[in-house]
């Protein structure tokens, strides 16, 4: 699979504590980001205008706010506790937030009509675009819900690290499949799982039309594919 391409981020600081945070992120999340660390030009209030085309890491600078990292144009800030580099729970939460931010930048998956999820190697949900999952009532996965262990076990055991299951569709115009793909680096390191809902019908329709074939009934499967009459609408 392709290696992750690190995003270039402009990181602005006004004091040594903020600079240390940016350096920590640049060192420990260098697979996601390359941070260009620079001193903020506006020392008075820290609200300088950054390049609108650039991704930025900056800080909220308010009384008693502590070290509060602002990612891009987000209204929320990540507050760094004291000795943050020694707090496992905070580091896990930080990794989840930064991974989610990264995936939002490299692909516009929020606008993909079907559900797409990404899970960490430990099975934690790190991204959900809240797309259509095939149910009559929209179902959004709880952020703390983990990937079912049996799914991850089957993905690791399968030679292609893939698992696909049919999904009952709310419409007869769709053939929905739930596809799980284990994500592995070239050296075999497991990096998590990508899950997505796929509508098979348009793909199947295109294949049958281009190949001149048509689906046949189960009773006739031993005779091979039949020649299409050109009317896929009968399918």
CATH number at residue 125: 3.30.450.20
pLDDT digits (tens, 9 = 90+) for 180-196: 999 998 888 898 899 99
Tokens representing 201 are: 């019908």
**101 shares a domain with 138:** no
Q: How many domains does the chain have?
A: 3
pLDDT digits (tens, 9 = 90+) for 219-235: 444 443 333 344 444 44
Sheet with strand 77-80: strands edge to edge: 33-39, 7-13, 55-60, 67-71, 77-80
Q: What CATH number has the domain bearing residue 16? A: 3.40.120
**99 shares a domain with 171:** no
Query: Does the predicted TM-score (pTM) go above 0.85?
Result: no
Burial 21-58 (b: 16+ CB within 10 A, else e): bbeebbeebeebbebebeebeeeeebeeeeeeeebbbb
What pLDDT score was predicted for residue 210?
Answer: 84
Question: Which of 73, 106, 139 is the last residue in one of the domains?
Answer: 106
Check residue 232 and report its DSSP letter.
Answer: G
Residues of the chain with pLDDT under 50: 1-3, 43-47, 49, 52-53, 218-235
What pLDDT score was predicted for residue 138?
Answer: 54
Full domain range(s) for residue 217: 203-234
**135 shares a domain with 71:** no
Tokens representing 41 are: 């030009």
Cα Rg of the chain (Å, integer): 23
Residue 1 lies in a domain: no
Residue 208 lies in a domain: yes
| Phi and psi angles of residue 78, each rounded to the nearest 5 degrees, phi first | -95, 115
Question: Which of 56, 76, 106 is the last residue in one of the domains?
Answer: 106
**15 shares a domain with 95:** yes
């Amino acid at each position: 699979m392709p290696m992750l391409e690190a995003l270039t981020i402009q990181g602005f600081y006004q004091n040594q504590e903020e600079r240390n945070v940016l350096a920590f992120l640049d060192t420990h999340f260098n697979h996601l980001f390359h941070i260009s660390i620079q001193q903020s030009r506006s020392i008075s209030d820290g609200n300088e205008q950054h390049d609108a085309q650039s991704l930025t890491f900056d800080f909220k600078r308010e009384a008693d706010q502590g070290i509060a990292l602002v990612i891009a144009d987000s209204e929320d800030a990540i507050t760094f506790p004291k000795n943050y580099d020694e707090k496992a729970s905070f580091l896990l939460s930080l990794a989840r937030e930064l991974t989610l931010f990264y995936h939002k930048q490299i692909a516009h998956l929020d606008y993909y009509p079907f559900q797409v999820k990404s899970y960490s190697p430990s099975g934690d949900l790190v991204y959900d675009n809240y797309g259509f999952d095939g149910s009559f009532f929209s179902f959004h996965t709880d952020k703390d819900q983990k990937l079912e262990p049996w799914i991850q076990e089957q993905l690791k055991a399968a030679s292609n690290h893939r698992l696909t299951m049919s999904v009952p569709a709310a419409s007869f115009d769709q053939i929905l499949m739930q596809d799980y793909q284990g994500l592995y680096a070239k050296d075999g390191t497991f990096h998590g799982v990508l899950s997505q809902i796929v509508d098979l019908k348009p793909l199947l329709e295109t294949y049958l039309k281009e190949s001149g074939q048509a689906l046949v009934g189960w009773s006739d499967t031993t005779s091979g594919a039949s020649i299409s009459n050109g009317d896929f609408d009968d399918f």
